[in-house]
Structure 1
Amino acid sequence: MIRLNNVVASYKTERGVVNAVDGVSLEIPDGCIVGIAGESGCGKSTLMKVIYGDIGFPLALASGSVDYGFSDDSGKPVTSRNIQKEWFKRISYVPQSSMSSLNPVIRIRKQFLDFQDQTGNKAQILEQVKSYVKKLGLPEESIDSYPHQLSGGMRQRIMIAMATFFQPEIILADEPTTALDVVVQKSILLLLMDLQEQMGNTIILVSHDMGVHYQVTDKMLIMYAAKAVEYGDSEEIFQRPLHPYTRLLINSLPTIGDDRAREGIPGRPPSLWNKLQGCRFADRCPLATDRCRNEEPEFVEYRPGHFAACHYADSEANLSEVS
């Protein structure tokens, strides 16, 4: 089980220090797919970097910790501060853009070998790589290509192959279907689901697309303005959301056979540079009161395994099921 304990992650800039993740605490069970959703700039990708341990200037882990539930070879518990030694072996990362992540002037096979144990037999390793990429739906000869010679979907499959080659316990996928057409998107998501089922690992998936979360994830974390505002089983969140922001996100999804006009959420998220008071969604929330604007809601468990940060999460006005 992965435990996030009051994680605060900040960026140091010329304007000063800004918290991109502010006090996030939750538990992620083993062997499931967990989605992180929210608008651009809410802290999704920064939280992924913290979980991966990719922390370096200008990003800093200001406070809190991430515990992974396993120890290193010396028996020392692994946290976000020493997880780097476990990269690829026990935790891997699939970035947003395969084109900017793969070295454009090095063939794919060489990039595979770069993160392998170089004490092994190179020819034997390459045979294993060929077999693995074929299993993931790629021709064996694709590893002899340069990244620009492959399609976007093929490059993304290569990134997934690299991330899963050692069968890590945790896979982080940050917008893995960005800039891909819908057919390729579906194939990438099905590939991740198949791999998770075969390996039994934990996948944490970032996507701004609520439809992706509905199809793929077992659990969901909703973030808003650097805060966790809702977390629980995906099915229950879609049927009985506790936070007004979550409800508005779900209601914005187009549905086949439903010709109602879809509306965006009015207003915009608050600037994280400002001194924020109360609920950060208050200025856009249809249920907001003076209490919301002045008192920050706690992130509490309203139903078994279902958490939310809203003063009125269990009020009658906020409990009708999403139609």
Structure 2
Amino acid sequence: PRLCRMEATASAVRDDPSGARGEVLTRGPGGERVLVTGRLVFDSRPPRRLPPARTTLLQHFTGWFVRTGRPVFDPATADLMDFRTPQPARGLSFGYVLPLDPRTALVEYTEFSPAPLDTDGYRRALDHYTHDVLGIGPFDVTAREHGVIPMTDGRFPLRQGRSVYRIGTAGGATRPSTGYTFAAVQRQTRYIAGRLRSGRPLRVPAPYGRRARMMDAVLLRALDSGRVDGADFFDRLFRGVPGERLLRFMDGGSPPHEDLLIGLRTPVVPMLRTVVELPFRPRREHPAPPLAPSSTDTEESTP
């Protein structure tokens, strides 16, 4: 009874003139304008500009939900980072396969690089991955997904007013070196809910600690400069680090001694060179990435 859910497009989020409440300017499905106010407002919309950063890459991806003519997938196995894809000059790329049943799967091409591809670029990459790498034969594309995730060592502000908080990717919940977001969003929202439930003043902590942010900055710069080969870097980690420990590290939850052990599995000299260089690199502003490819395509099947 205390929850009101509405669907509308939020065009602006701000403090009211007194600063005591937040305001959300919205437009409803019928075009009507609605002003929503609240003591606190939590804003997770993608930012229009990214914060100043020493390094900014984008994790951009397009996926096809495919239906094959014969059983080709193992529903018990997901391929999360398959590096049998052409690697870009800066960053890295990989494919992944999430089977839903023996004939249905989400097949995705992902790239870490300075700019997204256009639709034809993603289609060529997925054609190569499905036909030349996976060899799954003829299939229908039943649906598509696309996304762009900023990977930056910029500092996302957690507040944009007295009553407005930024959460999710907009509040820095995306791990810059891996794109991991979901677990950090869960931690962030549980913390906020707990503070509100207890009646204590709300102070939203940074999703990741200083040590994790420093390691992210080093890896992003090493990838962007070409000092380390991205596919080889992650391949070393997956081969040399136990799975549970590596997942803790990729989510920003590993203790210092595990970080040190993992660091010894990386190309030490290029990483140390990047550590020395990083403090002297200026922070620059970057526009927010586009949310969709620059052209459209409605083809729904491929031989």
TM over 0.5, yes or no? no
The structure with higher relative contact order (CA 8 Å, sep 6+) is 2
TM-score range, shorter chain: under 0.3
